[in-house]
Every structure is written in structure tokens, then in C-alpha cells.
Amino acid sequence: MEMSHLISLLILLSFETFGDSLRFPKNFKFGVATASYQIEGGWNASGKGENIWDRLTHEHPDWVKDHQNGDVACDSYHLWKQDVEMLKYLNVTFYRFSLSWSRILPSGFSNYINPDGVRYYNDLINELLKNGIEPMVTLYHWDLPQPLQEVGGWPNPLLAKYFEDYAKIAFELFGDRVKTWITFNEPPEVCESGYAEGANAPCYKSSGIGDYMCGKTLLLAHARAYHIYDKLYRPKQKGKVGITIDAIWAEPKTNRIKDIKAAERQMQMDLGWWAHPIFSKSGDYPEIMKNRIGNLSKAENFSSSRLPQFTENEIRFIQGSFDFFGLNHYSSWLVSDLKIPVNAPVSHWKDVSVLMQQDPKWKPSAATWLKVVPWGLRKLLNWIKKEYNNPPVYITENGFADFGELNDFGRLDYLKGYLNALLKAILLDGCNVKAYTCWSLMDNMEWRDGYTLKFGLYYVNFTNPKRTRTEKASAEFYKTIIETRTILEDLEQVIVL
Ligand code: BGC
């Protein structure tokens, strides 16, 4: 037996013997995450410009479930010191938060920098460092400055350059202290929800066309930010730059070949759409994606593929533009093959042609799309390992939705399951995962669901002008995991009421 197999077998046996008592590696990092629009408030404070979520929630309050908006949200614009106290209490290694582009560059363009925006993030970053917490900063978590939407938003290829300008300013201003940068949070959501399904701002419905245009700009924008960092800032600042992609695990619904193929197609055309150009050896979109969309476009009588192509130079520019793979993962789906007629309306879903369902036996959450399937995370991490040559992965979001209860046992159970699956992926399967981030530090503005769904380790009282924060059972649970680097067995130990 080979040595590596023997070691795996021994670890497996100790899992059987000691259950969950195995530990996360010494240098493994734990954190929590938030995003600017979801927590900051201060939507027009001290020179901040309007963004697409301000516009959507003000013009169409009825498009948000509870007709609310992020004007005040958790009021972190004023209460950031309390946030840092909570982070300190949790004992996290790092805090992932995002910059509001419009707070720094009110018009989106780099011709004017808003001093108050710079002051706000300097204060936050300095306070984090004073408390021994590393800042992990996302440049773009969905809140595009409205003036950039007026010129078309992400389907406009010029936005790649404007994003680079913005990234450069952020590196210049904060890069002496920020060592981990995420260019984009969840490109699939930016382009699919924003430009295909009409689900997120700016709520356009151009599936199979607008989403692919958006995707091309976004991949180039990411690579521009990566390269400008590499060239101008990395030598002195010595930080890391990556991108965060969200992915489900697509489990074949049956073991019929066509369902197995459908599940793989789903992985390639959703996660692979973004990851293949950056993380694969060959670069560019996955072959299957280029072929299917190319063939369908021909059959639909388009003059060229609806998937805009990259030039050879662009392929090389994007390929390898990463220091780590940021991964957001919440849940899994059962996938089967679906035949969609060629004359059906153009859409990304027609291009993928799969049926997605969730097993009614999976434990539910308050969000219809989020079922508790811990083994899906392990399979997903193994897929990434195999597909992209085991890159360093930072799990930048993972979390559970409920209605805000303080004794949030559903969240405890979720965290326990997913962290166990993660531990197995690291120790048994050799997946190169370096960090885990729980979404979210506190309850916040859950986009089109408003304040109806809660993901926080801390409860926030949104009817109290002081936006008081109270720790939930899961905060204690997560804190204990961070401090012991292992997973508690007994959920009852952590009741806070
Ligand atoms: C997003 C967060 C969101 C969370 C829960 C992720 O897709 O990055 O902003 O709150 O999911 O829906």
C-alpha cells in the first residue's frame, strides 16, 4: 500500500473512532462576512453617490418583499466600532467586508474621490488591525454606482476599465494594510440575477445574451484588477488577489448516463463559466459551453455565437489571474437531463438544458433554495480540486437562513454539518482549503427578501433606532469552534436564553 493511502486510511479510522474531534490545521483561518449595501446604511451620507440598489429600492419598494431598503440597514456606517467588538468577541482571524464603490467614487469614475468614504474605511481597517483582525476586502458586492448603469452597466465592455481605475484607487488607499482582495462577489449572480432573470438590480431580463455580455466584461475587469495589482502594488504590498464564485453542488438525480452528463454540464456551464477561464490550464470558457451556445446560436439564426468570444490575448490575460479561489457555497441540487426544443425562447437555461430539483427529505431553511446538504460541499471541493489542480480555496461564504430566532439551532446544525464535511475534505481528501467564512456576522438587508430572512450570528433589532445587536446561540457555537479548532457535539451546551 502506498504511504499516502495508508495515511488516508489512518485518518479515516480515527474519524470512525473519534467522531468529530479531529482538528482544523493550525494555520487554517476562520472569519465572518458582510457586504456594504447589506449593512452600512448611510446611503447618501457625506458625499456618497447613488448605486443600483438605492435606485431599485427607492423607485420600486414593492419589488422588495417587505418594501424595505438599505438606507439605514444595520447602520454600520455609524456603528462600525460595535461590529469590531463583535468580531473580537468571536475571535475570528479575519473579517470579510466590501467597499461601497459609490462611497469612495460617488459617480463611479475616478475623477473625484470622496474624502468621507476614505475616512470611513480607514477607520474600520485601522480598528480591525488594532484588534488583531485581518481585513479581507471585496471590491464589488453588487452595488454598482448608478451612473455606470446609465451607460449600460456590466454588458458595456468599457466598465472593465472603470473597474480597474476603482480597484487601483482602493489598492493605493488601503493596500498598505489590506492583504487579501476579492475583486468580485459571485459573478453568476451579478450577471444572471442582474441581467438575465431580473431578480437583482438592475433587474434586466436578457437571458442567453445580456448575461454573457456581462460575463465577458466582468472576467476582463477581474483580470485587469489582478494584473494592475501584480504590476504596481504586489512588490511593496505583498498581498493576494482572487475572485469569489458561488456554486451549488449538482448531484445527478439518477445514475443514468444522461443525468450524470447533465449534472457535469451544469457544473461546467455555471461554475466553469467563470472558473475555467481563470483557473484551468487552458483558459477560456469550457469547451462544452462554447460548443453548445455556438451550435444553438446557429440553429437560432444568429450571425455569431451569443457567447462573445475572447481573443487569444484576452484568454492569456485572464488565465492564471488568481492567488486563491474564493468560493461561496450554500446548498445542493439534484440534476437531470432536460430536452428543450430549439425553437424555445433564447435563454441561458435553454443552453444548459437541465432540470434542477431538491430532495424533499433534505432539511429545509427559511429560504426556499437553501436545503441542508453538507456532503454537497465535500463533493464540490473535490470537483474543484480535480478540475483546477487543487488551487488554494478560501470559502468566503457559507450560512443558513432562518427567521431570526436567538436559539438558532437550525444554524448550529448547519454549521456543524458543513464544517464536518469541510474537515473531511481537507484531512481525508487533501483539498487545499485555507479559510472558512460564515455568512453572516449579523442579520442584514437580504436583497429582494428585505429583512424577512436572517443569516446572522448576531440578531439586529431593525425597529430600534440604535440597531442593537444581540448574540445568538450560533455565535457562541462558532466562537467555540474557532477557539478549539474542532466541532462541538452537544448542541444543547450553547443555549443562550
Ligand atoms: C450573497 C450574500 C447573500 C447571501 C444569502 C450570497 O449569495 O453574496 O450577499 O446575503 O448569499 O442569500
Helix (H, G, I), strand (E, B) or coil at 158: coil
Task: Give the number of the atom of ligand 1 that is nearest the alpha carbon of residue 455.
Answer: 5
Could you tell me the distance, in angstroms and rounded to a whole number, from the CA of residue 138 to the centre of ligand 1?
Answer: 13
pLDDT of 436 > 80? The answer is: yes
CA–CA dist 421, 268 (Å, integer): 23
* Cβ atoms within 10 Å, residue 61: 13
Locus of grid cell 455555471: 270
Residue 214 CA to residue 203 CA, distance in Å, equals 13
Distance 211 CA to ligand 1 centre (A): 19
- With a 6 A CB cut-off, is 446 part of the ligand 1 pocket? yes
CA–CA dist 62, 450 (Å, integer): 11
Nearest CA to ligand 1 atom 3: 446
**What is the share, in percent, of the chain residues with pLDDT greater than 70?**
94
Q: For residue 440, which atom of ligand 1 is closest to its CA?
A: 10
> Which CATH number is associated with domain 3-18+25-494?
3.20.20.80
User: Ligand 1 centroid vs 142 CA: distance in angstroms?
Assistant: 10
Looking at residue 487, its pLDDT comes to 86
Instruction: Compute φ and ψ for 297, nearest 5 degrees.
Output: -60, -40
- Cα 257 to Cα 264: distance, rounded to the nearest angstrom: 11
Sign of dihedral through CA atoms 360, 493, 420, 13?
negative
Q: How far is the CA of 411 from the centre of ligand 1 (A)?
A: 15
Q: What is the mean pLDDT of residues 444-448?
A: 98
Q: Is 387 a catalytic residue?
A: no
127, 251, 397, 471: which is the annotated catalytic residue? 397
pLDDT of residue 489: 58
Query: What pLDDT does residue 488 have?
Result: 63
Task: Locate the ligand 1 atom nearest the alpha carbon of residue 244 and give its number.
Answer: 8
CB-ligand 1 contact for 439 (6 Å cutoff): yes
Q: Is the dihedral of CA 84, 86, 91, 94 positive or negative?
A: negative
Between CA 69 and CA 73 the distance in angstroms is 7
Give the pLDDT confidence of 335-372 residue by residue, as tens digits.
Answer: 999 999 999 999 999 999 999 999 999 999 999 999 99
Tell whether the model's pLDDT for residue 286 goes beyond 90. Answer: yes
Q: Judge whether residue 199 has pLDDT over 70.
A: yes
Cell of 212: 454573457
Kindly calculate the radius of gyration of the chain based on its CA atoms and give it in whole angstroms. 22
